[in-house]
Structure 1
Amino acid sequence: MKEWPERSRPPTSAAWNVTMVAAAVATALCCALKLWSDVTMFADQESWLPLGLLIAVPVVVWFVLIAVGRVRYAGRWRLGLLVPLCVVATVVLAGFSVPGRIGWLLTRSEMERAAAECDTLQSERSDGSYRSRTVGVYDFHHVESGPGGECEFFLSTHYPGVRSGFLYLPNGAAPVSDLDHEYVRLGGSWYYFKA
């Protein structure tokens, strides 16, 4: 492939620009989907693989466009920054649980009220099945109360494969993470857990 000197390179074509914007928009949508899943699940680790596979298509298109732009066009780098910026921002935000913390802040007052009514929210039916509950941005498979005022809210997604949710411990000692259970302190008597 012949590389043209920078002065004689034409500006990027309209087709290249449109395809680059389409790749950036598709990447941004995949990243937004990941961030939203973290808002509604606090830390949805299960979405990394399917969204990673989905995002591979626009990233491959982006990579091909960057290669073509490097060889063929002048001034191609600015528009090409959109895709890596989306991906890096998503990884950093998800890595520091920023979307999960935002979801928690949006729902905390409703969760406080739900924890106060935990006994009435406990959702096991007489036939042994569960009744789901929605509190704020979260959908719960079921809610369980404990003898000391504890309340566990089990998130619906991936249930029963991944058991995660929120734990309210008003009088108990802070839970300790181990190999089977991870706890993240959310402030006050609240914890996010993943088993």
Structure 2
Amino acid sequence: MGESQGAAEATDAHSKPPGRILAAIVGVAVGVLVCIHYDWWPSRFGDARWADPLLFGGAAILALLVAGLVWAIRTLYFVGRDRSRSRWVLVAPAIVIAAVFGALLFPPPSFDDLRPDFERVALEVLAGPERSRSEVEIGRFDFHYVRKDAGGAVYFVEAGGLGITVSSGWAYSPAGPPAGFDDFTATHLGGPWYEFTAAWRT
């Protein structure tokens, strides 16, 4: 009798639909990923400026994977076996779908969108007495430094770059292709702007 009652209780527990707690976990995880996607996360400046979004983004993805598994199991029992219905079955997927469609419909600003702000900073650096500015933010872009050279070019070097030995970013060079630094390659984007990568010489 005791074993039958325990089995019945276990079945009832499995038959619960995904609820508020699961929806809250999905909402928080999706919110973290949205903030990282649009660069609404706190400033990443410093020696480990990449660490916070990387760690929190990884934790958010892991939470979504676990929540998705729990949602699938509960939904399978609740809808597939018991033929029950509840609006809570749809809440977690709706949060994820809304976030995906929102990101597709409203992408973060691109370099082209922010080009006037880039040009303003470039002209300020060219006109100023200092050779470079450190830790510059333009919209969602973070730069380790913005530096001018003797040829009148200004380099926007991304924070973090592509790796320990590779720098990347954009160059403002009204006089033509920038001379660059280290092992430098640049792609013309139109007007005085170039996108570049540079591998450090060791």
TM-score after normalising by structure 2: 0.58
User: Secondary structure, in 3 states, of the residue corresponding to 2:171?
Assistant: strand
Deviation at 1:22, TM superposition (A): 0.7
Bigger fraction of residues in helix: 1
Going from structure 1 to structure 2, the CA distance change for 1:116 and 1:148 (only over 3 Å counts) comes to same
Q: Does 1:32 align with 2:28?
A: no
Select which of 55, 58, 77 maps to 1:52: 58
| AA partner of residue 172 (structure 1) | G
Deviation at 1:89, TM superposition (A): 4.6
Q: Which residue of 2 aligns with 1:99?
A: 108
- Residue identity over aligned pairs, in percent, reads 21
User: Secondary structure, in 3 states, of the residue corresponding to 2:175?
Assistant: coil
CA distance, structure 1, for counterparts of residue 90 and residue 126 of structure 2? 57
Q: Deviations over 1:1-21 (max 9, x none)?
A: 99x9xxxxx884xxx331232
Select which of 177, 184, 188 maps to 2:191: 188
Deviation at 1:69, TM superposition (A): 1.9
1:13-162 correspondence runs (5 A):
16-37=18-39, 50=55, 51-72=57-78, 73-75=84-86, 77-85=89-97, 88-89=100-101, 93=104, 98-101=107-110, 105=113, 107-120=114-127, 131-137=133-139, 138-157=141-160, 161=164
| Runs of 5+ unmatched residues, structure 1 | 5-9, 125-129
CA distance, structure 1, for counterparts of residue 19 and residue 121 of structure 2? 50
Q: Which residue of 2 aligns with 1:7?
A: none
Deviation at 1:174, TM superposition (A): 8.8
Going from structure 1 to structure 2, the CA distance change for 1:135 and 1:58 (only over 3 Å counts) comes to closer
Deviation at 1:60, TM superposition (A): 0.9
Going from structure 1 to structure 2, the CA distance change for 1:131 and 1:149 (only over 3 Å counts) comes to closer
CA distance, structure 2, for counterparts of residue 28 and residue 184 of structure 1? 36
Deviation at 1:112, TM superposition (A): 1.2
Q: Which structure: larger Rg?
A: 2
Bigger fraction of residues in strand: 2
TM-score after normalising by structure 1: 0.59
CA distance, structure 2, for counterparts of residue 182 and residue 49 of structure 1? 28
| AA partner of residue 123 (structure 2) | A
Aligned residues: 168
Residues 135 and 142, structure 2, Cα contact 8 Å, conserved in 1: yes
| AA partner of residue 58 (structure 1) | L
| Runs of 5+ unmatched residues, structure 2 | 1-6, 45-49, 79-83
CA distance, structure 1, for counterparts of residue 143 and residue 32 of structure 2? 24
Residues 114 and 135, structure 1, Cα contact 8 Å, conserved in 2: no
Larger RCO: Structure 1 or Structure 2 (Cα < 8 Å, ≥ 6 residues apart)?
1
